[in-house]
Amino acid sequence: MRSSDSPVARIPILPLLVFIGSLCAAWWPWGTFAASDADILDVKVESGGGVRATARVLFPAKPEVIQSLLADYLRWPELFEVRMRVADLNIHEGVATIDLRITHALMPGEHRLVTDSRVLPDGGLVTDLKGGDFKRYHRVWKLRPAGEGHQTSADFDLTVELDSLTPDWLIAVVMRQELEAHFRIVKQKALERSRR
């Protein structure tokens, strides 16, 4: 039997994705999720379109270490499990314009995300959409010392709207998983950097 003759090969891909996403949505706890004892992650579909994620994350390093990781723009791809690369980086008067190319299962092919990022005066980073294949992208990290100054309490806020036919509820399910991985990677790199 040829692979194209099998029953699985005849199932249209979009309904299959919707079915799998429905199963994930049914099994995945919606609302607030505690990634660890101190972490809180909330991912919701916005009524006007897009997805918003908010989190409070406790990092095992000082705010300066976390700030240096978040503002190391050329190494941003190392902080995520999603495949991406920095196509261009231009820093002018404190604003970093980053041109990222992202390859993701929800968006076939390589997609472009161009953002402007700037460091917040009290610690943190704000990133806004400048161009590319997204309708909206706004991310804020606010950092403050915790645990006698040897840890960082971070407030995270991200709003994303893709220029895609992928339903927002499916993006929300995937975003939750990717942010959990992102926070874990940043924690690991923060520990490594603070031990140097």
102 DSSP β-pair partners: 84, 111
* Confidence (pLDDT) at 149: 85
- Average the pLDDT over 134-153 and give the result: 95
How much of the chain is in helix, strand and coil states, percent to nearest 5? 30, 45, 25
Q: What pLDDT band is residue 7 in, cutting at 50, 70 and 90?
A: very low
In a domain, 6, yes or no: no
Q: Say how many domains are in the chain.
A: 1
* Confidence (pLDDT) at 56: 98
DSSP-assigned states of every residue in 107-140? EEEEEEEEEEEEE-TTSEEEEEEEEESEEEEEEE
- Average the pLDDT over 6-34 and give the result: 42
**How many residues does the structure list for the chain?**
196
In a domain, 20, yes or no: no
- Three-state SS at 86: strand
Smallest CA-to-CA distance from 81 within 191, 163, 166, 186 is with 186
Domain of residue 117 covers 31-194
* Confidence (pLDDT) at 165: 85
Predicted structure pTM score: 0.80
* Confidence (pLDDT) at 28: 41
Per-residue pLDDT of 69-92, as tens digits, reads 999 999 999 999 999 999 999 999
In a domain, 86, yes or no: yes
In a domain, 5, yes or no: no
56 DSSP β-pair partners: 40, 155
